[in-house]
Amino acid sequence: MSSRLNRARGGHSWRQVFWWALSLLAACASSASHAQSAVTLYGVIDTGVEYVTNIGPRKSSAVRMPTLTASLPSLWGLRGKEDLGGGLSAVFVLESGFAPSQGTLNQGGRLFGRQAYVGLSGRWGALTLGRQYSQIFWAVLTGDTLAPNLYAAADLDPYLTQPRVDNSIVYTFTSSGLTASAMYSFGRDAVDSAAAGGCAGQSPTDWRACKSMSAMLKYDAGKWGVAAAIDRNYGGGGAGSPLPLSSQTDTRALVNGYVKIANATFGAGFQHRINHGEQTPTVFDATSNYWWIGGRYLPRPDIALDAQFGHITVSGSASGGSVIAARAMYFLSKRTSVYVTAGRVFNQRNAAFSIDGGTVPPASTPLPGVDQTGAMVGIRHLF
């Protein structure tokens, strides 16, 4: 009797059926756990050999490998997301920039100098905290078709390709192609030197010192898009800083957009800047206006041709300039490509813009009023 009771149909004992069921539930739970939480490793390795003219007082030339960026900056990162239920997720990003020519860290030697943040994301938007980009960076990606290529219109304002801020809180809401976001930093930088724009970080005695804030509004329809952003940094970096006093501010307002027509994409943008910091040949005096136009054309799916022109004018000073840049890229696969790129910057009498956005300044800076040319052959791989 008991033997029959301990048997299930098919000749298996209830004990065996129980353990099979338990194993199945454990496997399902494990599968659900993996589905709810995911971490992605990603990165870019991009380098090559470049040639730059008219460097420094001797107007010398150099052949070398770039350290900061090529067609893209070299980086690796970890991106994670965990489903907490009810439409709520925990998110994080840790992203490190490096120089493949040396194997060293960029962004002042920070381990995760590009991004390092954690937050929550849901139907109401996303709230993240840590080291993050200013919202003007995400806005300029809409209409800048060539940067962060080392030769690009952004050479006239390198800030646009690297506005990262420490100790920041960012809120972002996206719906049906519309994105609205805002950022506030309690102290934007305590690692970089004063000359490089570094600040003292979070100050317990001066509420304005080293603060940063930005906001963006963007709409992307797929075939066209437009974005607008405002970015303001407060001073407090002390002697040698572009903004020595906390009462000084550096404000940028930007609008740009793109449109796609068949195999071509055209982009353009305009930025107005008011800088109340020190007036030097390398810092825009008081007020400047900067615009650019560019485009990309794909004659074949494995070939991309890019070109861009930018121009900046500075009020009351011959410190403006122009830049023209181009790039031809051949895609060996979805992840690997080779390219050749070139550019030339035209400096006004008091300007010293460098064409070379791929090397830490002032390694490639020309004398004021001297034009400069750069060219590079490179390879990049995405993973």
User: Residues 274-305: pLDDT tens digits?
Assistant: 998 855 544 444 799 999 999 999 999 999 99
Residue 120 has pLDDT above 90, yes or no: yes
Pairing of strands 224-234, 212-220: antiparallel
pTM of the model: 0.86
Kindly list the distances between the CA atom of residue 216 and the CA atoms of 89, 135, 192, 253, 346, in Å, as whole numbers in the listed order. 23, 6, 26, 10, 31
Give the pair of three-digit tokens for residue 318: 């011959």
* 3-state secondary structure (DSSP) of residue 127: strand
As to burial, measured by CB atoms within 10 angstroms (0-12 exposed, 13-18 middle, 19+ buried), residue 219 is middle
- Cα–Cα distance, 293 to 270 (Å, whole number): 9
Domains belonging to the chain, first-starting first, are: 39-382 (2.40.160.10)
Q: Read off the pLDDT band of 16 (50, 70, 90).
A: low
Q: Are the C-beta atoms of 375 and 342 separated by less than 8 Å?
A: yes
* 3-state secondary structure (DSSP) of residue 215: strand
User: Residues 165-219: pLDDT tens digits?
Assistant: 999 999 999 999 999 999 999 999 888 888 778 887 788 888 899 999 999 999 9
